[in-house]
Copies of this chain bind each other. A is one copy, B any other.
């Protein structure tokens, strides 16, 4: 009746089929892969793809590494063949010449992965397969090269144009919500009651990107608080006994937590699009919203202070703020980008550093990582492109005068 119903029917059916008998096939994984690549067209491909996925998933780590090594070593490109294709006359302008080049320059394993994806429900399984690969590749450069092919295909398949933004609410399926609990990476969700407090009140929102081939699996989600004014403490923001207000009364949307859900999609960036689409949708819905801001951790602060041999006292508010501002404005890596990974993300998106707060995250983790300091990154949709451009090309960090003053004062102090 509805596309969704069909889509889910397809998914369920997939499960049913996937649960069916498979892998009675006596061939080895490499033999099965060869057969799948040899299959002329799609006729027997589907079943073979399912058998390969089942077989892969039934292996232990050694078996899986063996599978990846096979892909890395035996299904790569053949430089001689590429050179030969290039040596043909009109290799890149005639259809036949270019077809030959394309066939030579793309490793067979990319076609293998595409054919595996023809099996119903294969997409999330391929995403999990890549999560395995990334784990193994940490110690094995050959697998890192193989991963470039996985990443290339997944980036194409999880293109922004295919993603769907969905609100996550207390009306959402429990099967989705349990994943929100599991994947929240910034401020842990303790229980279903805690989740309820982050979803149900009129001044709380949550949004996630989904891919149609994985309708139950959020890719990335952001939690939003609607407030009056820019908040300066995460504990105050999440206070259990606080009095919710109506969404219409809010003037500020606070992105207080952004979490990726799929380790197998590492390196494929959705966060920037997510924040901007949510900001754009919220401002269309709630005309009172004027400010879009984060309340973000400063995870690298204490480590950096330690490396620099500098002391800090979380209890002294103004010195803490100066230190935090100075760190965010000046601590750079060799490539000129900020040391702080959260800063790199938001500044790279075109946000500016709006304010820093001491005593803003009094949790054990907050004190340990950043001496309790937090930062607001501001998304001014009109300036985001320009900020981004300057940051990307000249590593210029956009900041409010407050933050610049705090940083300058610390600079002076140190001299």
Q: Does A122 contact B (CB under 8 A)?
A: yes
Question: Is A405 part of the contact surface with B, judged by Cβ < 8 Å?
Answer: no
- In angstroms, Cα B192 to Cα A195, docked, is 12
Residues of B near A32 (CB, < 8 A) are: none
Cβ of A42 and Cβ of B93 under 8 Å apart?
no
Q: Give the chain B neighbours of A349 by CB distance below 8 A.
A: 43
Q: Which partner residue on chain B sits nearest A246 by CB separation? A: B19
Decide if the interface of chain A is mainly helix, strand, loop or mixed.
Answer: helix
Cα(A275)–Cα(B12), bound, Å: 20
Interface contact B92-A76, CB-CB below 8 Å: yes
Chain B residues with Cβ below 8 Å from A2 are 2, 4-5
Could you tell me if A388 and B44 are in contact, using CB atoms closer than 8 angstroms?
yes
Instruction: Known contacts A86-B83, A145-B93, A171-B175; decide if A6 and B164 are in contact (CB<8 Å).
Output: yes
Which residue of the partner chain, among B1, B79, B98, B178, contacts A148 with CB atoms under 8 Å?
B98
| A272-B384 contact in complex given A86-B82, A161-B213, A170-B174, C-beta closer than 8 Å | no
Interface size on A, residues (CB 8 A): 91
A189 at the interface (CB under 8 A from B): no
- Asked whether A95 lies within 8 Å of B166 as measured between CB atoms, the reply is no
A105 to B100, CA, bound (A): 12
Number of copies: 4
Minimum distance in angstroms from A278 CB to a CB of chain B: 13
Docked-complex contact B389 and A44, CB < 8 angstroms: yes
Could you say which residues of chain B place their CB within 8 Å of the CB of A269? Answer: 41-42
Q: Is the CB of A170 within 8 A of B171?
A: no
Q: A148: which B residues are within 8 A, CB to CB?
A: 95, 98-99, 102
Is there a chain B Cβ closer than 8 Å to A363's Cβ? no
With a cutoff of 8 Å between Cβ atoms, the chain B residues found around residue A117 in the complex are 159-162
Question: Please, what's the 1-or-0 string for A173-209, where 1 marks a CB less than 8 Å from any CB in chain B?
Answer: 1110110000000000000100110000000000000
23 contacts between A and B (CB under 8 A): A3-B166, A6-B167, A40-B388, A40-B392, A41-B272, A41-B392, A42-B269, A43-B350, A43-B392, A72-B93, A76-B92, A79-B86, A83-B86, A94-B141, A97-B145, A102-B152, A118-B159, A118-B161, A157-B157, A171-B174, A174-B195, A192-B192, A212-B212
12 more A-B residue pairs beyond the given contacts A3-B164, A19-B246, A42-B273, with a C-beta to C-beta distance below 8 A: A2-B5, A44-B385, A46-B273, A114-B155, A117-B161, A153-B156, A156-B157, A157-B157, A170-B174, A171-B174, A174-B196, A212-B213
User: CB within 8 Å of B: which residues of A?
Assistant: 1-8, 10, 19, 40-44, 46, 72, 76-77, 79, 82-83, 86, 91-95, 97-99, 101-102, 105-106, 114, 117-123, 141-142, 144-145, 147-148, 152-153, 155-157, 159-162, 164-167, 170-175, 177-178, 192, 195-196, 210, 212-213, 215-216, 246, 269, 272-273, 348-350, 384-385, 388-389, 392-393
